[in-house]
Amino acid sequence: MTFKLLLTILAISLLSGCGGSGSSSENNASDNAPTETDDSSNDGSDPNDNSSENDSNDQAPDDNSGDQASAVDITDQIFTKTTANCQDYIDQYSSDVRDVNRNMAFQGALSIQHENGKCQFSTNAIPNHDFNDGQNNFVTNVSAQSDSYQITSSPSLAVNVTELSLQVDNALFLNGVKLDLLAAACYGVGDERIGCNDMNQPWRLDPMSALNNFGTDSHNAHTQPDGTYHYHGSPMAMFYTDTPIVSPVIGFAADGFPIRGSYFDDNGTVRKALSSYQLKQGARQAIDNINPGGTYNGAYRDDYEYVPDSGDLDECNGMMVDGSYSYFVTETYPWVMGCFKGTPDSSFNKR
């Protein structure tokens, strides 16, 4: 009887152990997905703050997580590749970064694949650098997204350029964050920060102007109402901004052409590319009988005009490099792109 009793106790113990491991596997179901870690318990925040309710969806998409162990870690990396073909960047990428003001950890995830003549990007829109490090918090908390874009791997120059608009995202950088240069902000419309969706409305504010406060961080970025982190100009990352080294490709515009940093080789001299947009002189003149007054100082996009051959770059802020067209990050307006030199892919249409 004693021996049978011992066997019975042993069997019960084994069954109990199986039940425990089953519970553990449920907790690890999302171990491979990019996550955030809330450290607010150490940041002196109000324990009654309900902002955490906005973070419930801050998980990276399942189809974007991949095998994080094999992903290329691009956290705070300076990129080096200069090739213009998007196929040369096919891989899985990840990053571990922080929302500085919220004292919260995020993991970025970007996948680049190629199929049917197009490079396909899947991203959670979390950058490869710390963010939200300004004096004020973003109006909307950053949250991971589930975004997909595609571009042709064989871009071509169009007969006519395509103007930038609020309906189409401009580009995707190789850290998974989009470029959205324009703001829905115009003189005399609403609070002059949102609501100006008519592209024919004059005197659109430039988010990159030091005269305008759009609440961007040190990377010229902030959030959209849905929590999407996006740049309004140079990401101030991925390339050396103040060292004369030929800049790498740091992203691709919606038309498939690459975006490079600021430096290029000008017949043996490495220097920053110069925009051909110039600030108008004198007092502002009315457009469609609307005039904010004052002098042309760069607060509005209409303060600038394109002057051919006054710089290195064309009206779209690009030029030919090694036989291929490229856009350049510049220190002055239009900052990255002035228009599309090719035909933007419809996957960049805003929804």
pLDDT tens digits, 75-104: 999 999 999 999 999 999 999 999 999 999
Q: How confident is the model at residue 136 (pLDDT cuts 50, 70, 90)?
A: confident
80, part of any domain: yes
Of how many residues is the chain composed? 351
- Digit-coded pLDDT (tens) for 21-73: 333 333 333 333 333 334 433 333 333 333 333 333 333 333 344 455 699 99
- Digit-coded pLDDT (tens) for 155-212: 999 999 999 999 999 999 999 999 999 999 999 999 999 999 999 999 999 999 999 9
22, part of any domain: no
70, part of any domain: yes
- What is the pLDDT, as a whole number, of residue 4? 41
- What is the pLDDT, as a whole number, of residue 133? 97
Q: Within 13 Å and on the Cβ side, how many CA atoms surround 105?
A: 9
Find residue 266's DSSP bridge partners: 269
75, part of any domain: yes
DSSP state of 77: P
What residues make up the domain containing 170? Answer: 55-351
Are 182 and 168 in contact, with CB atoms under 8 Å apart? no
Concatenating the DSSP letter of every residue in 176-235 gives: S-EE----S-BTTSTTSSS----TT-S-BB-TT-TTS-----TTSEEE-TT--EEESS--
Are 266 and 281 in contact, with CB atoms under 8 Å apart? no
pTM of the full structure: 0.81
Angle ∠(29,31,34) on CA atoms, nearest 5? 125
181, part of any domain: yes
- Digit-coded pLDDT (tens) for 296-343: 999 999 999 999 999 999 999 999 999 999 999 999 999 999 999 999
Please give the tally of structural domains in the chain.
1
5, part of any domain: no
Identity of residue 55: D
2, part of any domain: no
34, part of any domain: no
State how beta strands 324-328 and 258-260 pair: parallel
- What is the pLDDT, as a whole number, of residue 41? 37
Mean pLDDT of 266-288: 98
